[in-house]
Amino acid sequence: MIRIRLDRGRAAAYAVALALGLAVAAVGYISSFDNLSSYADGHGWAWPPALPVGLDLGIPALLILDWLRASVFLRSAAWTLAIGTVAANGAVAGGTARDRALHALMPALAILIVEAARHLRDDPTRMDKIRLSRWILSPVRTVRLWRRMVLWEVTSYSEALARESAILHARTVLAAYYAKPSWRRTRKHVPLTLRHLLATGQLPVTVLHSLDPQDTVREWVHQMLAELAPAAPSVPAATAGTGSDVIEDPDKIVRERWDEIWVRQDSIRPDGIPAEVFASAIAIARREFEQAGAHITNDELRTRLKIAKPRADAMAKVIRSAFQSGPVRQDPTPDPPPAAATSARPGSSLLSEADGPGGPRLGLNGHPVPAHSAGGES
């Protein structure tokens, strides 16, 4: 409401200033008409008013033409003719130099007021008007076009048309990609981020100002689909249990992967990226994946963190790679080899091993040989 009042107030002030400028211009033209007409009458002109009419009316004619369609030639011609009118009024006026300057001041002031009004009209923040014929032929789409121009401050009508054309072509490409007959049935299959970009018209500049817009839009759509496609984690069909097959939950695997990335952030952080910036990038990427089911784009990550494009590209690449590789699984430590047999001979006992090399000798049947018979008969 406040903005509407301000716009109406500015429009009213502009109208009042323009009316006063036209009044001053009329006074200036009347003064110039009298001066130049008197000069022509004294120098033998057949119709004295021809001189002031030719000079004074030529200026507004050129300015009106330039107002309708800006042209450097028309503006330069209007200013040249205005300088000539001011000089002529100063030359034909009698009296002192001050009197001649005052006579030339009125037409000069009128030209300045007209130029000021045109400068306000050419304000870059002023929004272009939409053709009445478009409102009649396509009212629904024109309302959407006007709404997008107002919400996102698109002041240029030609740029708004370029955005609308790119959006319609992108919807056609997506409908063909998902093999759907209309955008209404295709919309629910499109990733949330891409759907948001098409709804708001926030398309890249390269897409809007391309020499071949159709091919550029098609390439951009396929690139966005490739970037936003959720990575399908390799979920094992079943894991061996105690007695039955247990199917793992995919959501649990996704949570484990994000938890693993958070734990390993210090080891996978790219060189030159502060730790707090990389931690924020992981948090934003995880929230976007959980909400949209797709990885965040490099440009969106750069916009949210307000960082340079190379940093955003490096962090997004590392995060996607770490997510696709999955958690780092530690191989189980192999069991130590079984201890060597206490004796290679059957029937050996701990007693015989403990005796060592100097222990009792064993006979052929594995029983210890008495000491008195070990050395034989004496």
Q: 148-170: per-residue pLDDT in tens?
A: 888 888 888 888 999 999 999 99
Does the residue 242 lie in any domain? no
Other beta carbons less than 10 A from residue 10's beta carbon: 11
Does the residue 348 lie in any domain? no
Does the residue 334 lie in any domain? no
Does the residue 238 lie in any domain? no
Residues 265 and 218 in one domain: no
Does the residue 368 lie in any domain? no
Tokens of 16: 């009042």
Does the residue 96 lie in any domain? yes
Does the residue 353 lie in any domain? no
In tens digits, the chain (378 residues) has pLDDT values of 444 555 667 777 777 877 877 787 777 777 777 777 887 877 778 787 887 787 777 877 887 787 777 777 887 888 888 788 778 777 776 667 776 677 667 667 767 777 776 666 655 567 788 888 999 999 999 999 999 888 888 888 888 999 999 999 999 999 888 888 888 889 888 988 899 989 888 888 888 888 888 888 999 998 888 888 764 444 444 444 444 444 456 777 888 888 888 888 888 899 888 888 888 899 888 888 877 778 888 888 888 888 888 888 999 999 988 888 765 554 444 555 555 444 444 444 444 444 444 555 555 455 555 554 444 443
- Alpha-carbon torsion 66, 70, 76, 77, what sign? negative
Q: Tell the burial category of 13 from Cβ atoms under 10 Å away from its Cβ (0-12, 13-18, 19+).
A: exposed
Does the residue 35 lie in any domain? yes
Residues 221 and 287 in one domain: no
pLDDT by residue (tens digit) across 37-56? Answer: 887 877 778 787 887 787 77
Residues 147 and 195 in one domain: yes
Residues 172 and 199 in one domain: yes
Which residue's entry shows tokens 């002192």? 96
Domain span at residue 307 reads 248-325
* Number of domains present in the structure of the chain: 3
Q: Where would I find the beta strands (DSSP E) of the chain? A: 239-240, 245-246
Residues 189 and 117 in one domain: no
Residues 106 and 180 in one domain: no
